[in-house]
Structure 1
Amino acid sequence: MEIILKEDIIGLGYKNDIVNVKSGYGRNYLIPQGKGVIASPMAKKILAENLKQQAHKLAALKADAEKKAESLSGVALCIAAKVSATGQLYGSVGANQVAEELKKLGKEVDRKIITMKDAKTVGDFVALVHFHKEVTVEIPVKVVAEGAPVEEKKAEAPVAEAEAPVVEEAAPVEE
C-alpha cells in the first residue's frame, strides 16, 4: 500500500515521501493518526504541485538543518553509567541520555530525532541525529563506568604497559 507521509517518521520516511507499507499499518495506524494519506493519482498530483510551491521553504529548512548540524560537528559525548563487575550496564544508554548530555552542553536536540542502538556495555557507540532527510550528524558516544577519572587513568595505563614490557625484558637480562 502506498502512503504519502504527512510528517517525519523515523525509520519509515520523511514528510511528503511516498512509501510502501503493509496495508494494516497504513489503514490502522498511519491514516487514522493523520500521519499519512493514501497515495492515489490525484493525491500525487496535489503533492507535486505543493512541492513546487514550497521549494524555497524547503531550501530554507535544509539550510537551517545544516546550521544545526554544524553546531554539533566535533561534539563527542562521554556518558557515565553504573556498571556491574562483568562490564554490563545496569539498564542501558540510549537516545534519552544522549539528548540530556547534549542539553548539558547547551545544544537543544529533540530526543525523537536521535537514533542509537541501546548501549548495554561499556564502549564506543555512534548516535545519529536526523535534522533533515538530507542532513544527518554522527555523534560519537563513549560509555564509561561511573568512576570516569578511573577510566581516564586506565586509558593512560596501556601507554605505561606498552613501555613496561621493555623494562621487564631488560630486568631478566640483568638478573
Structure 2
Amino acid sequence: MKVILQKDVLNLGDAGDIKEVADGYARNFLLPRRLAVRANDGNTKVIVHQKRLADLKRDKRTKVMKDLGASIDGKVFEIKVKVGENDRLFGSVTAGDIALAIKKTGIEIDKRKLDLGEPLKALGEYKLKVRLAEGVTPNIQVKVIGEA
C-alpha cells in the first residue's frame, strides 16, 4: 500500500515522503496513529501543495534573517555590570542581558539565538555567534564594562 507520511517515522522516512509499505503495517500502525494517509490523487496534491507552501515560508524567513544578520554582523555591544574589588563581577552576563543590549539599539533578537557556551563571568571583549537561521550566523562583539 502506498502511503504519504504525515510525520517523521523512524526507519521509514520523513514527513511528506510517499512510501510503499506492507498493508498490515499501514492499517495497524501508521493509519491509526495518524502518522500517514493513503496515497491517492487528492492526498498527493494536498501534500505537494503543503510542501510548496512550507518551502516558500522557509525561503522568506531565511531572507529576512539574512537582512537582520547583515545589520548586526560585526557590531559591538557594550554591557555595563557592577563589579566588586579586583574587578570581579556580581553574577554573570547571560544571553538575556546581551539580547536586552541588542534590543536597545532597535534590533529584536531572541536570547536563545545567541551562542554563548557559558555565561560571561569576567570583564573584557567576547566574540559571539548568533544563530538566526540555517546558514545565517553573523558574529557580534560584546564588551563587558565594569561600573563601581
Greater RCO (Cα-Cα under 8 Å, separation 6 or more): 2
Report SS of the residue matched to 2:128. strand
Structure 1 stretches lacking a partner, 5+ long: 1-35, 148-175
* Amino acid of the structure 1 residue aligned with 2:57: K
Which structure 1 residue ranges, 4+ long, deviate > 6 Å from structure 2? Answer: 48-51
CA-to-partner distance for each residue in 1:151-175, whole Å, 9 max, x for gaps? xxxxxxxxxxxxxxxxxxxxxxxxx
Partner residue of 1:98? Answer: 98
TM-score of the superposed pair, with normalisation by structure 2: 0.64
Alignment correspondent of 1:19: none
Q: Deviations over 1:50-78 (max 9, x none)?
A: 79533333222211110111121242111
Any idea what SS the aligned residue of 1:132 has?
Answer: coil
Match of 1:39 in 2: 10
Matches within 5 A, 1:141-156: 141-146=142-147
- How do 1:9-48 and structure 2 match up within 5 A? 38-41=9-12, 43-44=13-14, 46=16
SS in structure 2 at match of 1:121: coil
CA shift in 2, pair 1:44/1:124, >3 Å: same
Instruction: Give the counterpart letter for 1:121 in structure 2.
Output: A
In structure 2, the residue matched to 1:167 is none
Report the Cα distance in structure 2 between the residues aligned to 1:88 and 1:61, rounded to whole angstroms.
41
The worse-fitting range, judged by mean Cα deviation, of 128-137 and 54-63 is 54-63
Question: Is residue 108 from structure 1 mapped to residue 78 from structure 2 by the alignment?
Answer: no
More helix by share: 1
- Give the Cα–Cα distance (whole angstroms) in 2 for the partners of residues 79 and 99 of structure 1: 10
The equivalent residue for 2:126 is 125
| Amino acid in the other structure paired with 1:141 | V
Deviations along 1:9-58, one digit per CA (max 9) or x if unpaired, are xxxxxxxxxxxxxxxxxxxxxxxxxxx955341x4262587795333332
Q: Among the aligned pairs, what percent are the same residue?
A: 25
CA distance in 2, matches of 1:137, 1:55: 23
